[in-house]
Amino acid sequence: MVIVRYRYIGSNVQIAMEQLWIDMAAVLAAAAPLVIAAMGETLSERAGVINLSLDGTMLLAAMTGFAVAFTTQNLILGFAAAALVGALVAAVLGVFSLTLGQSQTAVGFVLALLCTDLSSFLGAPFVRLPGPAVPFMPIPGLADLPILGPILFRHDPVIYASFLLVPATAYLLYSTRLGLIVRALGERPAAVYARGIDVTRWRYAMLILGGALVGIAGAAFSLDLKQGWSYRHTFGSGWIVLAIVIFGGWRPLRVALGCYLFAALEIVATRSQSALPGIPTQMIQVAPFVFMILVLALVNLASSPTVARWIATLPSVWQRPLLVIVYRLRATAPAALGQPFERP
Amino acid sequence: MRIAVEQLTKRFGTVWANNRLTIEFAAGQIHGVLGENGAGKSTLMKVLSGYLRPDEGRILFDGKPCQLRGPGDALAAGVGMVHQEPLDIPAFTVLENLLCAAPPGVFRSWRAAQRALEELADRLGFAVNPVARLDQLTIGQRQQVEIMRLLLCGAQVLILDEPTTGITAAQTRALFAALRQIAAEGRTVLFVSHKLEEVAELCHTVTVLRNGEVVPPGQLVMPQPQEYLLTLMFGDAGTAPPIYRPLPSSDSPPVWELRQVTVRSGTLHLLDLNHRFAAGRIIGLAGLDGSGQQVLLRLLAGRLTPDRGQVLVNGRDLSGASAIAFRQAGIEYLPADRLRDGLIGALSLTDHFALLQRTGVIVDRRTAEELARQAIAEYQIKATPLTPIAALSGGNQQRAMLALVPPTARGILAEQPTRGLDVASARAIWNRLQARRDAGCCIVFASPDLDEIMEYSDEVIVCFAGRIGPPIPRALLSAGRLAELIGGVGFEALVEAV
Amino acid sequence: MKRVAVLTQPLLALVAAFVLTTLALLSTGVSPLEAYRLVLFGAFSTPVRLSDMIMLAAPLLLCAVGLSITFTGGLYNLGVEGQMIVGAIAAMVPLRLWPDWPPLLLWLIAALSGAAGGALWALMIGILRRYAGVSEIFAGLGMNFLAGGLALYMVLGPWRRQSSASLSGTDLLPRELWLPTIDRLRLVPAAPVIALLALVIVWWALTQTRWGLEVRAVGLNPAASERLGIATTRRMAETLAACGALAGIAGMLQVVAVHHALIPNISSGIGLLGLLVALLARANPRWLLPITVAFAAFTVGSIQLPLTLGIDSAIAGVLQGALVLFALATRIRQ
């Protein structure tokens, strides 16, 4: 009797674990567009330029990617078109802010609204049409590994790309000479100028590269994650990516963690709907966004002098671990972020 | 490499910053360029290092004319400039800063770069830690890093702009030794300064600039008598010796009194401060950047709350009160960056006076404009009551800032009162400050310029590594001793003697 | 020479915006002239559409005026949508609690309640900014999401329709509680009057009072203002509260004068459109009213587009966004 009971519990646990791996895989998949966009924005902001138009760009790119892929039945062209759109919008932002000297925030915001409306207008003929989707491509061999298999290796190319993008971005920023220049552009452009680098041209390059990645992220929605096109298809993801970049302290690995955290929250929210029938769906959909803002507040609190002073008043046995936590959470923006560069 | 300018001219509007300069700087020597603020030294150096393009004239490297489109071109041609605040990336380490945007092919790898750096540091007598972050180093150390970076990137001509402002005596000695070594290796060093003693000690030749022109007879071989150089720099004005004023005693409570104050800011931790600042004094805070003068100034302004102790203003305990409470008690704070922290660039002087009004719902423009007119007349500000502050020159902005200090002010805190000002404006500002002092105000100011501290202070407080020394009557101090004290030499003895 | 230069700049922006919009129209195969006829002049074609335009312009003007206050103080108050929503909810409360009270009294209480709700919601952004260092952009966005969720909850929960909970909103308010309407026109004269009053009062406050001068100083240079003795944090909070209050009143108008109920989309993007208007009018506040009227006209005019020409009405948003974008380019460097 005892043995049977153990076996029963054992198989339940096994089913639960398998469900856990599937859930984790779902988180990784759901976060893929966010990760791609966030890496792009991290590069751009490290070079000193904020692209506030993210949400609009993602929508416009998602629509364009879907429209092109639908019309040509070619996924690659769809993604390419989306990347182009993302790069173009970023270029426009560059012209208005870097060349014409207007506020990056203002221009970015207006572009966000403009691109949202453009996507609604131009995308109207494509609403709710079934379109091509990125094929599911588990990696042979690796997909059968015990735990890592279902989590990491049963996805499609876009999600694999998002995995690779994170260490690639980190490597670029921290281990290459190029990365040194990019980081210096965001910290002290005057010093980079003194070394003979054309600050504006490099900032354009990073901004446009970031924009292209954001475009690909948009297409990752309409051609992969949430196939098709509809009004407000990406549901505010652009805004949350901006917040995640801040939360991640402009460090690629931490930013990616933030994306996965948010995706996890979204999935938890969806799952808990059945457990909480009293609360309307829309409210639960909204919860992760609010939570991210709270997390942002927490991160900023960690950097504030008030907290430092409060910690100093605690008994010393608490101080060290708290200080370590606070230090880890600290997020310092690139010193010259958002500030226009004037050639002296 | 030989570097020369021929008929170099640069105009800013109606001002001739450089007027037909013709100078030749031979290789293998240290050339001093002397002149007061506004004489044209900075402009000349900016042209030579590629930041500005001349309106007329040419630059010649080893006899060949050269067009410099930017600082990158200049470095490629072999000219490197070390600015007063080095143009490095504070968040980077020494090595990262070295490799960032270095000319292609100079460093084959990080390891090679580190080896080259350490070897050069050895040769020049500098101590360097390749993995230290630049924002943890002093200005003197950052200067050393910058010099090495420029040399490693191929600079044959090194330009230093007022390098000894804000560094210790020991660092100055190390710098001079390094510069002699660099010149001995065949390179050209241009040493820009307004300090005669240093030019006398270091330079092989000296060129004096005044009002944008080379003062005849042009480049002189050192040594030259000091009085002669002074005449060249100032004409016949020269510098009058400071007058010793006996300090008035007063029965009124001190403007500030600190009782066992402990305060913390960033990495600085000022402990157990007990100071009294009496009325009718000018007190100069001398010290290297980041030694505590700023912290003290902000504490006295109420912008920092002490962890322990009491801060009394005019006898009232204002510890922990807001900066606005301090202001209401008569304390005024004049920041170093006028346009960023001091005044509102887009508004006019009238608007500023209107902002000082405390009563009434509607803005009283008439009174404000009248006050502005009075201020313009009294302080000789070159502006109209309606001109936006941003359009004024630095000197006039400083005068405006002083004019906005109410006559009832009891204490004035000035971070670098004459930063970036020409001689005439600086003298005018100090005249006004001295007038305030005579009327009973207590003025506490910080300045990296030891000459300014020596000339205008009644008492000097030396700050070193977060420790605040006792006030020293200026008459008991010499410029040399002060330079040593700010570097820590004799500081312990000073503190213990109290 | 100079006069021509000053004139051509805004004209250039106008032309560029129309070029972009025309390109978008051409890509759908529709005649641009037909589309423009509807978008630009459709709002003036019939009295009903004209009154619709006025009923949109009123809350839009309130939001734009409020946003010009926060802009003067140097803040990007993206949370204006949330403030409108919370104002609408707050205004609804007295109307549902005490429907039998004299209407005039109720409207007054509703207006005050709406203003208070919006102001408090806006102050949350100030608190997040001051004590948690969160930029007002993200605080505003977060609060918008929260407000949207709150409205949904009220519509589907405590205030749901008696028949069955519906996403199209709560039950309509009793007829006596509707603000006086010119029936056939759907026009509520009180709405534009309130909006214009707000415009005049705020213009006076910003240019003539000491408070207004201090707010301007804070927006231009907070550090220097602090040094000159201005309570910068308090002024910024006051601008947020003022904008929130005006947005709250706009929300109240949406409930009492336009929809006569609480719907999930009560703010209808009016807040963000107001941000566009305020951005465009920053250089010259005299243009606040004309731009509001123009933008409201575009939105109302474009409503017919799907039925008449088969294209999406978002083209109005494209035109509005393009106008602001190119106008930004013609400004003096920041």
CATH class of C31-329: mainly alpha
Average pLDDT, chain C: 89
Residue B447: give its domain's CATH number.
3.40.50.300
- pLDDT value at position B169? 81
| One domain, residues B210 and B284 | no
The verdict on a CB contact (< 8 Å) between A194 and B87 is yes
Higher pLDDT: C50 or B290? It is: C50
Say if B19 falls within a structural domain: yes
Chain A residues in contact with C161 by the CB 8 A cut-off are: none
Q: How many domains does chain A have?
A: 1
| One domain, residues B182 and B284 | no
For the entire predicted model, the pTM comes to 0.87
- pLDDT value at position B349? 93
> Looking at CA atoms only, how far is residue A143 from chain B in angstroms?
39
Give the confidence band of A225 by pLDDT, cuts at 50, 70, 90: confident
Which of C213, C221, C227 has its CB closest to that of B354? Answer: C213
Q: How far apart are CA A304 and CA A315, in angstroms?
A: 20
The verdict on a CB contact (< 8 Å) between B71 and A196 is yes
User: Is residue B105's pLDDT more than 80?
Assistant: yes
Chain B residues in contact with C214 by the CB 8 A cut-off are: 355
| One domain, residues B264 and B230 | no
Give the confidence band of C331 by pLDDT, cuts at 50, 70, 90: confident
Place of tokens 């009557």: B473
Chain A residues in contact with C144 by the CB 8 A cut-off are: none
Place of tokens 């312990």: B492
Tell me the C-alpha to C-alpha distance, in Å, between residue C96 and each of C149, C170, C264, C265: 20, 11, 17, 19
| One domain, residues B158 and B273 | no
In this predicted model, what pLDDT tens digit does every residue of B385-422 receive, in sequence order?
999 998 888 888 999 999 999 988 999 999 989 887 87
User: Mean pLDDT throughout C272-281?
Assistant: 93
Q: How far apart are CA B251 and CA B278, in angstroms?
A: 9
Say if A335 falls within a structural domain: no
Give the confidence band of C77 by pLDDT, cuts at 50, 70, 90: very high
Say if B445 falls within a structural domain: yes
Q: Which stretch of A79-88, A172-181, A286-295, C299-308 has the lowest confidence by average pLDDT?
A: A286-295
| One domain, residues B29 and B137 | yes
Chain B residues in contact with A181 by the CB 8 A cut-off are: 100-101
Helix (H) or strand (E) holding B214: strand B213-214
| One domain, residues B127 and B210 | yes
Full domain range(s) for residue A262: 2-329
The verdict on a CB contact (< 8 Å) between C138 and A340 is no
The verdict on ipTM greater than 0.85 is yes
Judge contact between B295 and B271, C-beta under 8 A. Answer: no
Mapping DSSP onto H, E and C, the string for C246-312 reads HHHHHHHHHHHHHHCCCCCCCCCCHHHHHHHHHHHHCCCHHHHHHHHHHHHHHHHHHHHHHHHCCCC
User: Is residue C210's pLDDT more than 50?
Assistant: yes
| One domain, residues B127 and B266 | no
Give the confidence band of C334 by pLDDT, cuts at 50, 70, 90: very low
Say if A340 falls within a structural domain: no
- pLDDT value at position B238? 42
User: Mean pLDDT throughout A56-77?
Assistant: 93
Reading the block at residue A153, the tokens are 């290796």
The verdict on a CB contact (< 8 Å) between C146 and A286 is yes
The verdict on a CB contact (< 8 Å) between A120 and C314 is yes
Say if B387 falls within a structural domain: no
- Residue-range domain boundaries for chain C: 31-329
Average pLDDT, chain B: 87
Give the confidence band of B241 by pLDDT, cuts at 50, 70, 90: very low
| One domain, residues B189 and B273 | no
With 0-12 CB in 10 A as exposed, 13-18 as middle and 19+ as buried, what is A324?
exposed
Share of chain C above pLDDT 70, in %: 97
Chain centre to alpha carbon of residue B468: 20
Q: How many domains does chain B have?
A: 2
The verdict on a CB contact (< 8 Å) between A196 and B70 is yes
Rg over alpha carbons for chain A, rounded to the nearest Å, is 22
User: Is residue A278's pLDDT more than 80?
Assistant: no
Q: How far apart are CA C176 and CA C159, in angstroms?
A: 19
The verdict on a CB contact (< 8 Å) between C148 and A96 is no
- pLDDT value at position B200? 87
User: Mean pLDDT throughout A107-132?
Assistant: 91
Name residues 230-259 of chain A within 8 A of C (Cβ): 236, 239, 242-243, 246
In this predicted model, what pLDDT tens digit does every residue of B338-357 receive, in sequence order?
888 899 989 999 999 999 98
| One domain, residues B148 and B200 | yes
> Looking at CA atoms only, how far is residue C202 from chain B in angstroms?
13
The Cα angle at residue C84 between residues C79 and C85, in degrees rounded to 5: 100
Please state, as a whole number, how many other Cβ atoms lie within 10 Å of the Cβ of residue C293.
18
Q: How far apart are CA A224 and CA A218, in angstroms?
A: 10
Say if A338 falls within a structural domain: no
Q: How far apart are CA B185 and CA C232, in angstroms?
A: 57
- pLDDT value at position B245? 57
User: Mean pLDDT throughout B10-21?
Assistant: 82
Say if A96 falls within a structural domain: yes
> Looking at CA atoms only, how far is residue C101 from chain B in angstroms?
37
Which of B75, B90, B96 has its CB closest to that of A195? Answer: B75
Residue of A nearest to B95 (CA): A180
Residue A150: give its domain's CATH number.
1.10.3470
| One domain, residues B63 and B155 | yes
Reading the block at residue B28, the tokens are 């293998």
Subunits with at least 3 CB pairs below 8 A relative to chain A?
B, C
Q: Which stretch of B225-229, C11-15, C32-36 has the lowest confidence by average pLDDT?
A: B225-229
- pLDDT value at position C333? 57
Please state, as a whole number, how many other Cβ atoms lie within 10 Å of the Cβ of residue A251.
17
Say if B427 falls within a structural domain: yes
Which of B76, B87, B100 has its CB closest to that of A180? Answer: B100
Full domain range(s) for residue B48: 3-234
Whether A18 has its CB under 8 Å from any CB of chain C: the answer is no
The verdict on a CB contact (< 8 Å) between C311 and A300 is no
Q: Which of C324, C326, C330 to mutate to test the interface with A (most CBs of A within 10 A)?
A: C324
Say if B118 falls within a structural domain: yes
Reading the block at residue B220, the tokens are 């002189």
| One domain, residues B286 and B412 | yes
